[in-house]
Structure 1
């Protein structure tokens, strides 16, 4: 469920949708401040696995910019269109401004395009922090890490879905999954486009995880580490530990990662891949980022030293589980 930042504007509702939950529209003027953001909808050349294409972006970024506010703040977002007029699927007039109130909905959300498959490139995190003086119901993390999963298509996603609608067949699958817009080293010529997170031993990190993939549920795991789930869809939950997390498309999940007490002399894959129980086609590839430990005893950690460290990979569940037919059909 979503909310338009300008309820009276169908144009804005067509372009942006805040996922998962409706923001409570009850500002508290004695506590709130106004935070302003500028969104320029523009074409941008972007290169991912050996392929460069022009795609619709916000502020030329893939993923788009991060919105950060505190519970009760007022958001003022100015959206300006810089794409050609014949790109009819960007339903917004130049210079329109939109505002909403983010009172009563702290947590991790995200904005995305809401017209066909434009959302494959038009999306970004929304992070609403608790009010000042209101702590988390868990130990304060050392650092917060927005982590957004997405997809990369070499072809134009709009053309892909339009062809599928015309033929009645399934749409072509994506060419890669991404973590924070980067496909990672398991795809061709993508080692330099890898999300890397440097962490310190004995610290707690809060991962704000968002699945912005179009249709795929994703398994996520960090090799040799345990995740503690503390929040799902911007709602606190009773914390529980897991080695592998399943996150649905459009879902957000906050997890705590407590790093090892001492430098492990190793690096670790942070990997995600899809899961499906049906017969349909889907991208069965795996996206990976790298968790790197900082060594306090080494003032300079060269890239050569880091590359020599062993790299551990998580054991993710299989991509697909085909369910048996109902018992009453097996006799046919």
Structure 2
């Protein structure tokens, strides 16, 4: 699964106090919800991602317009899918800049370079999910860890020069 054809998904750049609207269009064969990790969602908690807890999932072929309210958050957070094991597939960074006229509560960075850590399996993630549900055992550990969606030079699918995690 990807977002706008990207894996990881796009980095969102917002400002503290801003509200954005995200159109989630599900073209996958799986239910999906989105979770805005670390975003408080004041007065708007019913679309925060936990499937069947704060919202119903967006079914295959469906769509959902999601309002995301950034109240007083600053810095870098992340968003991710939040239905079953879709959490291991779709995710991205959120860079939250301070309001105009204010500054970060730490020295201003010279550059924003999000680093997103993840996992990668040689098998379809839903096969891994089905196997562990059927067996009752723990799921198989991932075959690699990723940095910005790349598993590193030790696996043939990474871009040249991708850093590795040892």
| CA deviation after TM superposition for structure 1 residue 72, in Å | 0.6
| CA deviation after TM superposition for structure 1 residue 105, in Å | 1.4
Which has the larger Rg?
1
- Structure 2: 5+ residue runs without aligned partners? 33-56
Counterpart contact for 1:110–1:125, Cα < 8 Å: yes
- Structure 1: 5+ residue runs without aligned partners? 1-55, 196-269, 273-285, 287-332
Correspondence for 1:128: 96
1:188 aligns with 2:130: no
Alpha-carbon distance between aligned partners in 1 of 2:74 and 2:26, rounded to the nearest angstrom: 29
Alpha-carbon distance between aligned partners in 2 of 1:76 and 1:188, rounded to the nearest angstrom: 37
Relative contact order (alpha carbons < 8 A, sep ≥ 6): 1 or 2 greater? Answer: 2
Counterpart contact for 1:183–1:194, Cα < 8 Å: no
Counterparts in 2 of 1:161 and 1:96: CA distance versus 1, 3 Å: closer
Alpha-carbon distance between aligned partners in 2 of 1:108 and 1:59, rounded to the nearest angstrom: 21
Q: Any idea what the Cα deviations from partners look like across 1:173-211, whole Å, max 9, x if unmatched?
A: 2121110011122x132563443xxxxxxxxxxxxxxxx
Q: How many residues were matched structurally?
A: 140
Which residue of 66, 80, 102 maps to 2:25?
80
1:69 aligns with 2:35: no
TM alignment of 1:118-267, pairs within 5 A = 118-185=86-153, 187-190=154-157, 192-195=159-162
Counterparts in 2 of 1:188 and 1:100: CA distance versus 1, 3 Å: closer
Report the RMSD for the aligned CA atoms in angstroms.
2.0
Answer 1 or 2: which has greater strand percent.
Answer: 1
**What is the TM-score with the length of structure 2 in the denominator?**
0.74
**What is the TM-score with the length of structure 1 in the denominator?**
0.39
Q: Secondary structure at the match of 2:14?
A: strand
